[in-house]
């Protein structure tokens, strides 16, 4: 009987260790995926002055659009995650209007520098989008483990805190169902 008791204790201890480590791993993935977003936001931040300079020469009457972009850019690197994402959303719509300018100014559209910046910014934008997606997926996975039984007991014992999802209306990108 003593052996059975000992066996149970060993199994429980092993379970606690494995769950604890699993939670730690997921929590670090959450941090890592946030820093991914951060890196991409910074990159986009660095690209914007170049874009504004390129556009300035061609579209002198669009001062307002350019100012909006610079303003949004300056907000992007400060604040809480959700505030920064909000600033990034504003920037994104402002950038769209800049690229729409390309249609109105054929010379600008043909400018190599403009085209290159457009591709660079598309790249940056996609990376931000993918990083967000990864972040949310990781947070969801962490929260599910944190809240479901019996791993929630261990999460409670070591006070693993809930992580916040990024809430952005992704109107154009509906989540497809993957079912087999």
Partner 1 sequence: MLYQQIEQNKRKTILLVLLFSILVIGAGCAVGYLGYENIWLGLGWAAAVLVFYVPITYMSANSQVLRVSGARPATREEHPQLYHIIEELCIPARIPMPKIYIVEDPSPNAFATGIKPEKGAVAFTTGLLERLNREELEAVAAHEIAHIRNYDIRLMTISIALISVIAILADMGTRMLFHQRRGNSNKKTHPAVYVIALAFIILSPIAARFVHFAVSRNREYLADATAIEMTRNATGLKNALIKISGSDLNVLRANKTTASMYISNPFSKERKKQGTSWFSTHPSMASRIERLERM
Q: 52 vs 115, which CB is nearer to partner 1?
A: 115
Please, which of residues 8-27 interact with partner 1 by CB under 8 A?
none
Binding-site size, partner 1 (CB under 8 A): 22
Handedness of CA 38, 73, 130, 171 (dihedral sign): positive
Establish if 115 lies at the interface with partner 1 (CB under 8 A): no
Please, which of residues 132-161 interact with partner 1 by CB under 8 A?
133-134, 137, 141
Return d(Cα 124, Cα 97) in angstroms, integer: 17
Return d(Cα 109, Cα 113) in angstroms, integer: 9
* 63 prior amide bond cis, ω within 30: no
> Which span (42-50, 69-77, 84-92, 121-129) binds partner 1, by CB under 8 A?
121-129
CB 128 within 8 A of CB 88: yes
Which residue carries 């920064």 as its tokens?
84
Q: 26 vs 66, which CB is nearer to partner 1?
A: 26
Site residues (vs partner 1, CB under 8 A) = 36, 116, 119-120, 122-123, 126-127, 130-131, 133-134, 137, 141, 173-180
């Amino acid at each position: 009987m003593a052996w059975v008791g000992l066996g149970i204790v060993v199994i429980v201890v092993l379970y606690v260790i494995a769950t604890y480590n699993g939670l730690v791993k997921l929590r670090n993935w959450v941090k890592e995926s946030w820093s991914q977003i951060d890196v991409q936001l910074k990159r986009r931040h660095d690209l914007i002055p170049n874009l504004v300079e390129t556009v300035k020469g061609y579209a002198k009457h669009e001062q307002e659009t350019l100012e909006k972009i610079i303003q949004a850019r300056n907000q992007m690197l400060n604040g809480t995650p959700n505030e920064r994402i909000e600033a990034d959303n504003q920037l994104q719509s402002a950038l769209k209007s800049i690229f729409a300018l390309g249609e109105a100014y054929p010379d600008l559209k043909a400018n190599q520098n403009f085209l290159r910046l457009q591709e660079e910014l598309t790249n940056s934008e996609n990376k931000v989008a993918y990083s967000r997606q990864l972040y949310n997926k990781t947070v969801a996975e962490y929260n599910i483990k944190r809240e479901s039984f019996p791993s929630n007991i261990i999460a409670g014992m070591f006070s693993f805190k809930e992580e916040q999802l990024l809430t952005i209306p992704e109107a154009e990108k509906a989540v497809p169902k993957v079912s087999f």
